[in-house]
Amino acid sequence: MSADPLAAHTHAFLTALAGEELANEELWLEALTHGSTGQERDYQRLEFLGDRVLGLIIAEWLHEQESASEGKLSQRLNALVSGSMCAQVARQIDLGPHIRLGKQARDDGGQDSDNILGDVIEALIGASFLTRDFEATRAMVRRLWADAFSGKAGQKKHPKSALQEWAAGNNRKMPHYELVERSGPDHSARFTVEVSIKGIGEARATGASKQEAETLAAQEFMKRFG
């Protein structure tokens, strides 16, 4: 894997994430692989496992550190393992550029998709659990979720995450993003995206990629309505 510069960069990222040399590089790469690549194995099975491991680690942490009632602990647990929180943690470690996507998924902004980012971070947790052990995986999760657990997460939220949290906090449906225009040649395409929240309004923005346009649209929405 180290012969390819991009693969070497990804290897360095994964090694830093794990905090040690990888025991099974192929499994970790599987955790980064989206189905759009056409590879025989993608991250879905590891994501299934990692989701459960993450829930157990966070539940244990909450039980250890907090004396709240079962209901309050459940609320905290749900918030800390939510898709939006997983995506937020993924952005904090700059996971997006390392995800292996097919061309269409990449053009559609897959590197900045909350769903994909959240699924991949869970898949990486699954890979850690399988290739190392629970204790090492617990240490990794606690490091990654430290700010979120202490309540410091979100001080510099990604615009899409900030908008999603704003919608939830105002009892509104989640933001809906729609690509309304794609213009220009492939090498210099421009994407216009509209984001809307039912009962509130909408905002549009244009960027050099779909993900950039979505980010700018979320910023514009918050300027108008946040």
Name the residues annotated as catalytic: 51, 122
Give the burial class of 55: count Cβ atoms within 10 A of its Cβ; 0-12 exposed, 13-18 middle, 19 or more buried: middle
CA distance 103 to 92: 24
Sequence-separated (6 or more) residues with CB below 8 Å from residue 9: 98
CA distance 191 to 45: 33
Cross-strand pairs, 178: 194
Instruction: Tell me which residue of 206, 199, 205, 201 sits closest to 217, measured CA to CA.
Output: 205
Cross-strand pairs, 197: 201
Instruction: Tell me which residue of 36, 187, 43 sits closest to 103, measured CA to CA.
Output: 36
